[in-house]
Structure 1
Amino acid sequence: MTLRPRYLTALAFASIALSAPVPAQEEATEAVSTTEAQAVDPMAIDALQRMGAYLRGLESFELKADDMIDEVLDSGQKIMLTKTVELKARKPDHLRADIATDRKAREFYFDGEHFTLYAPEGNFYATVPAPPTIRELLAVLADKYGIEFPLQDLFYWGSDEGGEADIQAATWVGAVMIDGHLTDHYAFRQEVIDWQIWIAQGDAPLPLRYVVTTKGLPGEPQYIANLSWDTQAAPTDAVFTFAPSKDDLPIQLVVQTEDQTTPEDQTTP
């Protein structure tokens, strides 16, 4: 199974950004208390759109995400798992992710022509031909191989595939400091999830944290991600190129059918 709810991909996070100057911190309580009356606050939607536009304008970047994920046992007890993702991107056709969880590690490489999934603890890898852009690659991985690329929401935010119309409630919660950056905290509701996002104020409206509560699953598990960015990074071709060692063994990726359950080994940890 994938630890991150699959329908987070290209969902509500899709059009995110920062809005106009924010009221003082002491007004946060009032903003939260009037959420029901406000329903969808246009300023919150504007914030999503501005962030999405900024993300689309980034030609290259590196980021690290420290994630915490609830896994709900059959007994109802929640187990907190952790995951670290290091993502490197150079648009439109280079992408890499290094993922480490409590249970396993995975490395994803896209060099503009091929996609490779590598499992370092087992010394096996699979390489397949890839389409020419990141967005096309993400679609092929999900539809053909059942692979959800980590943090792929970043490449959908602010696009027509964002799911903004699915938002049932949206409000500004308050101004919050995260790692020395002043952010705006927004809360959103959809049919099956509640989610929150913290967006940096200023000229670089980057998402620095988001939290997703899955209402449609027993125990309402949460997913929490804290993001640190380097938007000045310019990763070279070598970063995105997989070079197997003499101990690494090639395997094949399984093509999924419509009624086939995604094998755990092919999903994001």
Structure 2
Amino acid sequence: MKRNATVHVFCGTLLAATLLLGGGAAALADDKPLRQAAAAPEIKDERALKLLKEMTDTLAGAQTLAFKARGLVPIVAPTGQYVSLFGTTRVVMQRPDGLFVESRGDLVPNDLYYNGKTLTAIDPARKFYAQQDVSGSSLDAVLEKAVPAADTLAPFVDLLVSDPYARMAKELSSAIVVGQSMVGGANTDHLAFTAPGIDWEVWIGVKDKLPRLVVASYRGDGRQPNFTVEFSDWKLNAEVPAKTFEVSIPKDAVKLDFKLQGPTQSKQAEQGAK
């Protein structure tokens, strides 16, 4: 019984951790919907939308892209408060059917492989893995399936889809240019946006039009988590070795069902282990 519960919890958190969500997905998903705070004034600066479009066009136009990300991920502690963990991620993508994500740091170490045929998630430390046939599914469809509600929970996932502008500009009620600042040694345009239930900011390189920093703050009554992700080592249209997307499953690894579960189901699994 205890082993089965562990398997359920692992399956329910593996992909979320891969994409820097960690426990954040469970923290945001609750049995009761969040009450929204008072609506912010609607101010749309076309300069902000233009700069966002330039960034997303740069990403969407790349046949291959690679970057590193370091983020602060909020999870709920036993006391009920949010505590922040560091997550580090290396991402390599090749359109239309290649994705590799390596996640380390304070989160569960795991690797994610998509090669157009299978989607494989591996925990190399504990030697668990899950694999699913996704033949015929586009990368967009796989991301949507692997990370439900990614457009609201993981600002970093939106950078990987084929039309990031459509995702990021959806239902915006405000868009402003805050100014310019240095991030990671690069001069950036600092933009701020508001959408239903969320305020988010992005710092975009003035020269390369690439995201350097994203901060998302959830709006509502009570305590709400923030996500912070910093990007570095961008490489666009660089040659990617074919072996990058070849799955390497640890010897004697235990195969698990590839099934994502919500926090309520995970809690039930944990209770079953007691």
TM-score norm. by structure 1 comes to: 0.74
Tell me the equivalent position of 2:31: none
Q: Partner amino acid for 2:127?
A: N
Unaligned runs of 5+ in 1: 9-34, 265-269
Tell me the equivalent position of 2:23: 3
Q: 2:241 aligns with which of 232, 236, 239?
A: 236
Check 1:212–1:262 CA distance in 2 against 1; reply closer, same or farther (3 A cut).
farther
1:78-118: CA deviation from partner (whole Å, max 9, x where unpaired):
41211111101111100010112414111100112111110
Q: 2:180 aligns with which of 155, 161, 175?
A: 175
Q: 2:58 aligns with which of 54, 59, 79?
A: 54
Matched, 1:225 2:224: no
* Kept in 1: contact 2:113–2:119 (CA 8 A): yes
Quote the RMSD (CA, aligned, Å): 3.0
> Between Structure 1 and Structure 2, how many residues are aligned?
229
Q: Partner amino acid for 1:128?
A: Q
Check 1:195–1:244 CA distance in 2 against 1; reply closer, same or farther (3 A cut).
same
1:51 is paired with a residue of what secondary structure?
helix
Tell me the equivalent position of 1:65: 69
Tell me the equivalent position of 1:85: 89
Tell me the equivalent position of 2:121: 117
Unaligned runs of 5+ in 2: 1-12, 14-21, 29-39, 268-274
Distance, in Å, in 2 between the alignment partners of 1:217 and 1:94 is 40
Check 1:149–1:126 CA distance in 2 against 1; reply closer, same or farther (3 A cut).
farther
Alignment of structure 1 residues 8-19 onto 2, 5 Å: none
Tell me the equivalent position of 1:206: 210
Matched, 1:42 2:31: no
* Kept in 1: contact 2:181–2:190 (CA 8 A): yes
Matched, 1:99 2:103: yes
Structure 1 position 62, deviation (Å)? 1.2
1:219-261: CA deviation from partner (whole Å, max 9, x where unpaired):
22211000011225322221111122322222221376xx995
Structure 1 position 126, deviation (Å)? 1.5
* Kept in 2: contact 1:171–1:187 (CA 8 A): yes
* Kept in 2: contact 1:60–1:232 (CA 8 A): yes
Moved more, 227-236 or 80-89: 227-236
Check 1:39–1:245 CA distance in 2 against 1; reply closer, same or farther (3 A cut).
closer
Q: Partner amino acid for 1:138?
A: L
TM-score norm. by structure 2 comes to: 0.73
Q: 2:198 aligns with which of 179, 189, 193?
A: 193
Distance, in Å, in 1 between the alignment partners of 2:265 and 2:166 is 23
